[in-house]
Amino acid sequence: MATNATDHHVSFSEQVNRMFDKAATFLDHPAGLIAQIKNCNSVYRMEFPLKRDDGSIDVITAYRAEHSHHKQPTKGGIRYAGNVNEDEVVALASLMTYKCAIVDVPFGGAKGGIKINRGDYSETEIERITRRYTFELQKKNFIGPGIDVPAPDYGTRPSDMAVILDTYTSLTLTENPIDALACVTGKPVGQGGVRGRNEATGRGVYYGIREAVSFSDDMERLGLSTGLDDKTVVVQGLGNVGYHAAKYLQEGGATLVGLAEYEGAIHSENGLDLDAVVAHRKETGSILNFPGATNIEFSAQALELECDILVPAALESQIRKDNASQIKAKIVGEAANGPVTADADAILNEKGVLIIPDIFLNAGGVTVSYFEWLRNLSHVRHGRMNRRFEENSARRILEAIETLSGTQFNQETLGHVITKVALGASEEDLVNSGLEDTMVAAYHEVRELTKKHNTDQRTAAFISALDKVASSYSQMGIFP
C-alpha cells in the first residue's frame, strides 16, 4: 500500500524499529542482545511459475520471514496482496514476535506473503498457488508443527489453510503425520480448526477496548465516562477483523457512527446497523448510499470523523504525519498491523489521544491460533474431558438446593436454570474465555508499565515484549 509522500522515505520496518528503539532506552540489556531481538533471523524469497487456466504462464513472487527463534515454532499469517514486499513481511514478522511475547504465547514471530491480487485469479489458480507456496516452504524447512506455523491474514481464508494442510500431508512432506494438523492454524472447524478462531482478532479488539474504557481515571483524563454505552465508534475496514470488532463493540453498547471501505465511507450520527450495512453492500456491491447515512467520497476521510473511538482495521500507514493532526477521536484502537506511522504516533500522543497499540490489541488471532495448535497436538477437543462433569456437578448443586430449601423446581424453571447455570462449557466458550482472560491480563500489564515508566501504551507494550524476549535468550544461555 502506498504511503503519503510525507512518510514515504520511512519504510514499514523502519517505522517499527523506531518504536522499538524508543522502548529499548527504558531497558538495561546488552546492546548485542537488543540487536539480536531487533533483527530478522531469516527471510526466504521465492519465484515460481503458475500455469493459468487459459494456458498462459505467470511468475509468482512470494516470501516467508522468520523474525525470531527465541521460541519455536515461529508463527504468523500469510497475506495475498498486490503490494506484498520483503520489507512489509519482515516488519509484520517482527510485530508478531512482540505480539506473542506480550500475550505470553510461546511462539517466535513469522509472516508470509504472496504478491497477487486475489481477484485477478480464479479459485483453482489460487489453489495451485497455495499448493506450490507450501511445497516451496517445506523444501527450505519453513513449515511444520514445531518449525513454523502459518495462519490466515489479509486476503487469505480458512479454505486456503486447508489447502496448505492437505499439501503438507498428502505429498508425504512430513515424517510425523499424527501431528500434521498443527502445521497451520485458522483451518475450517471440520479440518482441525477451532471454533472461535475466525472472529478471534476482532473479538480480541473488543475485549481490549472494553478493558481500556473501564478505568475511570484514564477516561476522566480524556473527558469520557467509563464503559462503552455512550461511546461513538468509527471503524475503517470491513474485512474479517473490522467486521467482528464493529459487531462486538456495537453489541457491547457502543454506537457505530462511521464505516469505511475501499470504495468510500458512510456516516450517521444516529448510528449504523452493521449487519444492515453488510447486507446492503452484498446487494449493491458498495456500502455507499446506505439509507439514512451520508456518503463520504474518500475512505481515508472517515478517519477524521468526530467520534470517541477510532478503529483502523485495514492496512498499515493509514494515519500518517499529514493527517494525524486531523484525527478527532480520543481513543485509537489499532485493530490492523501498523496503521499509525511513527511520526503520526508522536503527534497523536502530543494531542493526548489514547492509542491502544496493535502489538497488544491485534493479538487475539494468534492467541486463539495457539489454542488451535494445542488442540491439534493433544488430539483432544477443548472441553471434551470435563464438560459433562461440570454439568453433572451443577445439577447436583441444584438438587442440593432443592433438598435444603424443601422446594422443588418445576420443570420450566429447572430447564431455565440448567440452561443458564448448569450447562458445561463448549469448546467455543472455553476459547472465548481464554481469549478474554489473555487480553484483559495483557492490558493490565501494559497499563502498569505505562504508569511505571511514565510513557505511552505503545512504548510500554514494546518494553514488555523486549523484556520477555530478552529473558528467553538469557534462559537459553546465549546472553548473560
CA–CA separation, 99 and 370 (whole Å)? 13
**pLDDT 10s digits, 323-350:** 999 999 999 999 999 999 999 999 999 9
Own/partner contacts of 158-161, CB < 8 Å, gap of 24 or more, are 158/186, 158/187, 158/188, 158/193, 158/198, 159/188, 160/78, 160/80, 160/126, 160/130, 161/185, 161/186, 161/187, 161/188, 161/193
Predicted pLDDT at 3: 40
Predicted pLDDT at 411: 63
Predicted pLDDT at 7: 55
Predicted pLDDT at 315: 81
Instruction: For residue 465, give the nearest of 365, 362, 380 by alpha carbon.
Output: 362
Q: What is the CATH number of domain 43-191?
A: 3.40.50.10860
- Pairing between β-strand 74-80 and β-strand 294-296 as defined by DSSP bridges: unpaired
Q: What is the CATH number of domain 200-364?
A: 3.40.50.720
Angle between helices 31-38 and 12-24 (to 10 degrees): 150
Count of residues making up the chain: 480
**pLDDT 10s digits, 106-130:** 999 999 999 999 999 999 999 999 9
Predicted pLDDT at 384: 59
Task: DSSP letter for 254, please.
Answer: -
Name the residue type at position 337. Answer: N
Known catalytic residues are 111
Q: Dihedral (C-alpha) 16, 20, 22, 24: value to the nearest 10 degrees?
A: -170
Q: One fold for both 43-191 and 200-364?
A: yes
**How far is CA 164 from each of CA 71, 103, 118, 131, 182, rounded to the nearest angstrom?**
23, 26, 17, 6, 11
- Residue 157: is it exposed, middle or buried by C-beta count within 10 angstroms (0-12/13-18/19+)? middle
Q: What residues in the chain have per-residue pLDDT under 70?
A: 1-9, 171-176, 382-399, 401-402, 409-425, 477-480
Domain ranges of the chain: 1-39+446-480, 43-191, 200-364, 389-422
In three-state secondary structure terms, 474 is helix
| Beta-ladder partners of 309 | 233, 331
